[in-house]
Structure 1
Amino acid sequence: LPNIPQFLIAYYGTLKAGCVITTISPLARESTLLFQLNDSEAGTLVVYEPLLPVFLKVSQSTAVKRVFVTSGDASKPPQLPQGNFYDFDAILSKYPPEPPKVEIHPKSDLACLQYTGGTTGTPKGAMLTHFNMVSDAIAFSSWTKCRPAEEVFLTVLPLSHIFGMTTSMNAPIYAAGTIVLLQKFDVKKVLDTIQTYGITVFCGVPTMYALIVASPDVQSYNLRSVRCCISGGSPLPPEVQKKFIQLTGGVLVEGYGLTECSPGTHTNPVDPSMKTVKIGSIGLPWPDVDAKIVDLETGSKTLPPGEVGELVIKGPQVMLGYWKRPEETKEVLRDGWLYTGDVAKMDEDGYFYIVDRKKDLIKCKGYSVYPREIEDVIYEHPAVKLCAVVGKPDPIAGEVPKAFVVLKDGAQLTAEELINFLKERLEPYKLVKEVEFRKELPLTSAGKVHRRLLREEELSKSSK
């Protein structure tokens, strides 16, 4: 389901019935849908009518027993195939709201099987309990200083993604907030929505904020209702952060989380004075969360402030493990700590910084080069709208950094000009060796730039 009211109804109805949810992105292809339905052993599917044809192509290869279909508009009944297909909205109107009495054990009973590539890249279901999900929603609401029954949340992050699910649905419900749903991110619609509804809380990924500040029409909108924005999913470029704060007068800070943690674990303080906000940092651990940096080689040695290693986390939102994946669970859950696969460091004040993903690290002439560091500098150039840096195979250096860049409307920039711009700001071994300009970059269902696809393109080219 996309971001429609029926998503919330199906979500909470499933939980009240004592069942387990697994959400699937509306962008999922047949192979992804088939894998997740079978791996999760799903017996019931709730589907948006325009997406039904995707399921019908694989339905005979699944164990799904019943399908509830919604058109997204209760006044327009969906066209149902023969068999165990039901009109979702008609069923709701036919039966009284009398959920069965179900005994839930919050710390052991699953609420969600949330699929993720995790720290190893292969899809698997993170087993999240009711306790995990509620803990994270409460922690988010507390950290962002949500005012009960006063906040207006812009929900444009996909609810099928754990980031949107917690910050833009569960937390608003906990805080008795208003939820304004948008099915997809469109800059004009987002700007219109903020102005029309007086949005106060807007969680998103850096790409969203970058596109807003790059919009040629942004100055014509009144965005001053915005109080708090949390950016997650990938690093927030400091230049984007500064421009967005200037535009809205609200606080935009970087946070951190991962599916295995329901997802939030860290955020900078929501401090309008910005005195306790550290630009470039993911902030401090949330209440009841322990975090530390361990050595990359063995993961057994705790490192002092300033040293780079792997971020590990312990807290009430950490998953039970991966569904039917005991060996992979053992790899990431050790002695009560979740090993995130993210390379990070902690400063003397206890603020954490993500250096990069282990798998995104570029090894160039023996140096460790982190794409984020280069991307942050590229975003400082006024002509740049979006960018991504990946490692390109090189017979001599091993890998060299390559930049993919989308320019702002009407802007002009050559590869040579950008490289010269970087030369003044980066060490020689961090310089990109190639710049490829594109009209757009591939995005994940959550709106993050899909670095892996770009990296695979380069690997494919080098193997020919």
Structure 2
Amino acid sequence: MCRHKSAFSTRTKSNETNIIKSKSADILIPNQLIHEYVWEHLDKWYHKTAVICFDTTKSYTFGEIYHKSVALAGVLRNKFQLNKGDTVAVVLPNVPDFPIVFLGTIQAGLVVTTVNPYYTPDEIAAQLADSNSKLIFTINELVPVINKCTKILRRSIPTVLASDNVPNECIKLSELCDTRNSEIADFLNPDDVALLPYSSGTTGLSKGVQLTHKNVVSNLYQMSSPDFVVNLETRSNFQDVIPVFLPLFHIYGMVGIFLNFFAKGCKLIMVPTFVGPQFIKILQLYQPTLLFAVPQMIVTILNNPKIKYDNLKSIRTIISAAAPLGASAVDEFNKKCKNRINLLQMYGMTETSPLTLMQTAKLQNGAKVGGSGFVIPNTEVKIISISDNSTALGPNQSGELVVRGPQNMKGYHNNPTATKKTIRNNWLRTGDISYYDEDQHFFITDRLKELIKVKGFQVAPAELEEILKSHPSVEDAAVVGIPHPVQGEAPKAFVVLKKEVRPELLKEFW
């Protein structure tokens, strides 16, 4: 199904020192569109269940999603008269209709901007305005919020609902997907922008991140390289099962989970929120084989006495991302699960589509406690000095992580100033403090803008927080910098206690 036959590799020649390339060989990345990648092997799992809703048990097969999304693409172009490059806002929780909406929009040659459905009307309105969204997909429960947004914007926006009950002023999604007016845009180029998620990046305020088809497809191939792939091949008698707790409006859920594993024929269980009792029921009903998490989910697993290894034993691998997972949590998890479940971490950001670093059980020293892993294929990274922003540092020296690869964003929407600050000579500044060891395993230690400068030295709050949380009386901790007449700044800690402890004992421990 791929019309774009050319392919590309991104390994570049450079005389710079201390540039770290992937331990894995570069892979040839076809010059595909996102939907071409997704549907390339559709015939292998056409009749298998693609998504099922945990709350309602509503489900779709891969074949159903293909036909409905193609039908929707034709309607978006013809009925709504949307043009190539127009932006459509997807304001949806994790529902089984998300793939239809997402793929239908992209196949029409339009740009998807995913919006956090839990945002306030002012926040949603700001994103709708900045992205100039021409259409909104949402659910019935959010119509009052959307109505407030359109009042703020002082303009009406056609609204399509992925719901059974639809008010008169809205349009029912299912009616748009049953038409025979099927059409996939044939005028698209892999360099066209496909996604416009919003991120604070390294400069504070939320900005639209322009991700092209090529950016996203490159990252999907990088995730699927032999050294980093975690799913097993979908066969007639086997299908990996993945609960989707993480929000699909976020790049991690959208690309790292949905697009990545939908394209491989895995079954996705759509779950709007993550709570302990619900998690146990999912484990019992669906026996998931892969789990994608954030650190707080791992903490929930550790702290909930009802979640035992016997509940988790269907899972081969759990991958944690979005924030570093502390060494103590990793140790506790491995003890609880008897070292029988691979607990891996990875690192990325919206601006890198998202993946850059990943742990792997397939390479030597590929899953170090507290680490974020190795550089993925077709990618180069370096650690630059915080003091001069240019010198590339060697092993075990902390600095800012910068990335170069085909997954790097095109730029920030309508914000050339922020783009220039973030991308220089094709290197993307992450704003994250990191170092790598002798094995080229990377460790993310903090955010650049959160560093505390004590007597001229950079102090990472996350490191102090980890020390405090290792105290038996401390449940959680947060460290910030406060002005100090002698030191310039001094760290101040806020702690949540498991049990009473005298402050002086914590100070001595710290």
Which TM-score band applies after superposition, normalised by the shorter structure?
0.7 to 0.9
Deviations 1:202-234 (A, max 9, x none): 112111111211112223752011111221111
- Equivalent-residue separation in structure 1 for 2:365 and 2:436 (angstroms): 18
- After TM superposition, the structure 1 stretch with the greater mean CA deviation from structure 2, 313-322 or 289-298, is 289-298
Q: Which amino acid aligns with 2:303?
A: A
Which structure would you say has the larger RCO, counting Cα contacts within 8 Å and 6 or more residues apart?
2
- Equivalent-residue separation in structure 1 for 2:118 and 2:307 (angstroms): 28
Look up the match of 1:8.
99
Matched-pair contact (CA < 8 Å) for 1:207–1:386 = no
State the Cα distance separating 1:406 from its structure 2 match: 4.2
> Please, what TM-score do these two structures have when normalized by structure 2?
0.76
Q: Which amino acid aligns with 1:252?
A: L
Look up the match of 1:358.
448
Judged with a 3 Å threshold, the aligned counterparts in structure 2 of structure 1 residues 199 and 363 are, in CA distance, closer, same or farther, namely same
Matched-pair contact (CA < 8 Å) for 1:127–1:323 = yes
- Once the two structures are superposed, the pairs formed by residues 221-236 of structure 1 within 5 Å of their partners are 221-236=310-325
Is 1:208 the counterpart of 2:293? The answer is no
Look up the match of 1:117.
200
Matched-pair contact (CA < 8 Å) for 2:309–2:336 = no
Judged with a 3 Å threshold, the aligned counterparts in structure 2 of structure 1 residues 325 and 45 are, in CA distance, closer, same or farther, namely same
- Equivalent-residue separation in structure 2 for 1:5 and 1:418 (angstroms): 51
- Once the two structures are superposed, the pairs formed by residues 35-434 of structure 1 within 5 Å of their partners are 35-60=126-151, 61=153, 65-71=157-163, 76-80=164-168, 82=169, 85-93=170-178, 95-96=179-180, 98-106=182-190, 108-142=191-225, 143-149=228-234, 150-219=239-308, 221-248=310-337, 249-271=340-362, 275-394=365-484, 397-406=487-496, 411-414=498-501, 416=503, 419=506, 423-424=508-509, 431=510
- Equivalent-residue separation in structure 1 for 2:107 and 2:196 (angstroms): 16
Matched residue SS, 1:98 = coil
Q: Which amino acid aligns with 1:123?
A: S
Unaligned runs of 5+ in 2: 1-91
Deviations 1:45-102 (A, max 9, x none): 001221121111120416553110233xxxx32234x3xx211223323x13713333
Matched residue SS, 1:256 = strand
Q: Which amino acid aligns with 2:344?
A: V
Aligned length: 410
Q: Which amino acid aligns with 1:70?
A: A
Look up the match of 2:89.
none
Judged with a 3 Å threshold, the aligned counterparts in structure 2 of structure 1 residues 97 and 255 are, in CA distance, closer, same or farther, namely farther
Q: Which amino acid aligns with 2:490?
A: V
Deviations 1:20-63 (A, max 9, x none): 00000011112211111010010010012211211111204165
- Equivalent-residue separation in structure 2 for 1:399 and 1:50 (angstroms): 47
Matched residue SS, 1:343 = strand
- Equivalent-residue separation in structure 1 for 2:291 and 2:380 (angstroms): 26
State the Cα distance separating 1:191 from its structure 2 match: 2.8
State the Cα distance separating 1:330 from its structure 2 match: 1.0
State the Cα distance separating 1:341 from its structure 2 match: 1.0
Matched residue SS, 1:203 = strand
Unaligned runs of 5+ in 1: 425-430, 432-464
State the Cα distance separating 1:269 from its structure 2 match: 1.3
- Equivalent-residue separation in structure 2 for 1:281 and 1:77 (angstroms): 47
Matched-pair contact (CA < 8 Å) for 2:396–2:436 = yes
Matched-pair contact (CA < 8 Å) for 1:45–1:66 = yes
> Please, what TM-score do these two structures have when normalized by structure 1?
0.83
Look up the match of 1:435.
none
Matched-pair contact (CA < 8 Å) for 1:42–1:64 = no
Judged with a 3 Å threshold, the aligned counterparts in structure 2 of structure 1 residues 351 and 378 are, in CA distance, closer, same or farther, namely same
Look up the match of 1:462.
none
State the Cα distance separating 1:158 from its structure 2 match: 0.4
Q: Which amino acid aligns with 1:122?
A: L
- After TM superposition, the structure 1 stretch with the greater mean CA deviation from structure 2, 181-190 or 361-370, is 361-370
Matched residue SS, 1:22 = strand
Matched residue SS, 1:291 = strand
- Equivalent-residue separation in structure 2 for 1:274 and 1:376 (angstroms): 26
Judged with a 3 Å threshold, the aligned counterparts in structure 2 of structure 1 residues 91 and 296 are, in CA distance, closer, same or farther, namely same
Matched-pair contact (CA < 8 Å) for 1:392–1:401 = yes
State the Cα distance separating 1:349 from its structure 2 match: 1.5
Matched-pair contact (CA < 8 Å) for 2:474–2:499 = no
